[in-house]
Chains A and B, each alone.
Chain A
């Protein structure tokens, strides 16, 4: 514990440091010697097929993986918060009380109201979670994370359950919030476009190992039609086992719907 604190003070710019991380579910090795470092303020997206171990890695960093066998070194900022795929609001607590759940500072209420205003839900403090739409609930969950001013934001497919339009709006919101508050972010997703759209760096987890570690150097706002965007996408899809040619063919197909055959 003492050495841990010492190391963190030596490198204050590191939000996560993982070395040789192994996790096993039964006899299956889900994470196989993963090394990972996330700098303060860095936005990292973690891609992978289902079963590749990306949620396991996130849950390990969040220290939510009890009763999972494993070994390895793991240092993560203590001041972290988690956004789950479901908004996970307490149905019996009003929106504001959900946001400030576990916040003990005296001005908690005012902080919570400010966070709600930031995610565009000012005035809904007294609403019950059931009265909100799925997107609004997820925005409350974002406010609940924000209000803690985290150094590290861990998000496990936070937009996976949302419809396409809501998801686009949430991308916008998340990028804005991250630019303003600059936490380090680990975003687990299976959506390649979402990863390129949002992240500074994209990792691809294949069979429990980090197979690709790609910096994304695109100016914001990022466009899907950008040539470089397409190159990143091809590379990442390839590493996920989708052949680039196939991907290209599919994207052409989908952009030219209902053409009559000659």
Chain B
């Protein structure tokens, strides 16, 4: 008896909750689904990057990596510190974040409005769906020459490019979400005599919300991509400008700082959209939760 107890103490991890476990069911639940994904490993997202970082540090320290190819990680850290101390990094960062935020907001708003217009009315579908599909077929970045001719090389061109590329995924997924609403719910709405507006508010919009949020996630990715491109052509400020300047001077460590900043931008926005998704879609139970 005491031996069995000790064995259990040994196998159970410190900090993990060990129930007195008379009920087999409570323990079995921990195992999770047989055909679903296995239980989560803590810090799943952090382990891979940490290993890569360790590998990078090791190869720099051992001298396997030429500093012109990839700077030493501690040099990058020092450079980051210097750039922050001089206030240059913050200035570039604010400019870039502003462009991205403006472009993204504009793109998401316009994309949503167009999707609602074309998803909820036949007239809207006739007027909007074709043009948007054509726009989708043309890569936004290919429009840059035209946008430069129209708006010059200033901020409006940059914000518009980002907005145009963010608009498409929001439109596509929101529109698909609206179209995919089950006709059974439409029938239900009719039997309880919902007005058109009530139907839009209580059935169509919440039904299309998962699609909209997925569109926003794609839009965020698209916006960062466009930001990188517009900041490397004809820019005089922003993280991308800082990086292309560093390229001309051969400062690999500054380029790396820029990459880390872009990465953090992407990570923060994606996480916030995912949090938003979790808050807004609590009614769904999926395999990933």
Residues of A whose CB lies within 8 Å of any CB of B are: 62, 64, 81-82, 84, 86, 88, 90-93, 97, 101-103, 128-130, 144, 148
Q: Are A81 and B202 in contact (CB under 8 A)?
A: no
Complex Cα–Cα for A92 and B208 (A): 11
Closest to B184 in A: A88
Evaluate whether A128 and B192 lie within 8 angstroms (CB atoms) in the complex, with A64-B187, A86-B184, A92-B209 already known: no
Residues of A within 8 A of B207 (CB): 92
Q: What residues of chain B lie closer than 8 Å to A86, measured between beta carbons?
A: 184
Closest to B195 in A: A102
Apart from the given pairs A92-B207, A93-B202, A101-B188, 7 other A-B contacts in the complex at a CB distance below 8 Å? A90-B203, A93-B206, A93-B283, A102-B192, A129-B283, A130-B283, A130-B285
Interface residue? B282 (CB, 8 A)? yes
Interface residues of B in 185-200 (CB under 8 A from A): 185, 187-194, 198
Interface residues on B, range: 20 to 34
Task: Give the distance in Å from the alpha carbon of A130 to the alpha carbon of B202 in the complex.
Answer: 18
Q: In the complex the two chains form, is B285's CB within 8 Å of A62's CB?
A: no
Interface, chain B (partner A; CB < 8 A): 184-185, 187-194, 198, 202-203, 206-207, 209, 281-285
When C-beta atoms are compared, the residue in chain B nearest to A92 turns out to be: B206
Report the separation of the CA atoms of residues A102 and B191 in the bound assembly, to the nearest whole angstrom.
Answer: 9
A101 & B206 in contact (Cβ 8 Å cutoff): no
Q: Is the CB of B185 within 8 A of A81?
A: no
Query: In angstroms, how far is the closest chain B Cβ from the Cβ of A151?
Result: 14
A91 touches B284 (CB 8 A): yes
> How far is A105 from B209 in the complex, measured between Cα atoms in Å?
28
Within 8 Å by CB of B185, from A88, A128, A129, A148, lies A88
- Chain A residues contacting B193 (CB-CB under 8 Å) are 102
Q: Which residue of B lies closest to A144 (CB)?
A: B192
| B198 contacts across to A, CB distance below 8 A | 102
**Shortest Cβ distance from B177 into chain A, in angstroms?**
12
Enumerate chain A residues within 8 angstroms of B282, measured Cβ to Cβ.
128
Closest 9 CB pairs of A and B: A102-B192, A92-B206, A82-B191, A128-B283, A92-B283, A102-B194, A88-B188, A101-B192, A91-B283
Contact: B202 with A62, CB < 8 Å? no
Greatest chain A CB density within 10 A among B192, B206, B282 is at: B192
Residue of B nearest to A141 (CB): B188
Q: Which B residues are CB-close (under 8 A) to A102?
A: 189, 192-194, 198
* 10 interchain pairs, CB-CB under 8 A: A82-B191, A90-B202, A90-B206, A91-B283, A91-B284, A92-B207, A93-B202, A97-B202, A101-B192, A130-B284
**Residues of chain B with a CB closer than 8 A to A92's CB:** 206-207, 209, 281, 283
A88 to chain B: which residues have CB within 8 Å? Answer: 184-185, 187-188
Flag if B184 contacts A101 (CB, 8 Å). Answer: no
Instruction: Check B285–A101 contact: CB distance below 8 A.
Output: no
Task: Please measure, in the bound complex, the distance between the C-alpha atom of A91 and the C-alpha atom of B284, giving whole angstroms.
Answer: 8
Given the complex, which residues of A lie within 8 Å of B281, measured CB to CB? 92
Tell me, in angstroms, the Cα distance from A102 to B201 when the chains sit together. 11
B209 lies within 8 A of A101 (CB):
no
On chain A, the residues within 8 Å of B192 by CB distance are 81, 101-103, 144, 148
A103 contact set on B, CB distance < 8 A: 192
Chain A nearest CB from B186 CB (Å) reads 10
Inter-subunit contact A90/B185 (CB<8 Å): yes
Query: What chain A residues lie within 8 Å of B189 (beta carbons)?
Result: 101-102
Interchain nearest-CB distance for B146 vs A (Å): 41
B194 touches A101 (CB 8 A): yes
A198 to B16, CA, bound (A): 55
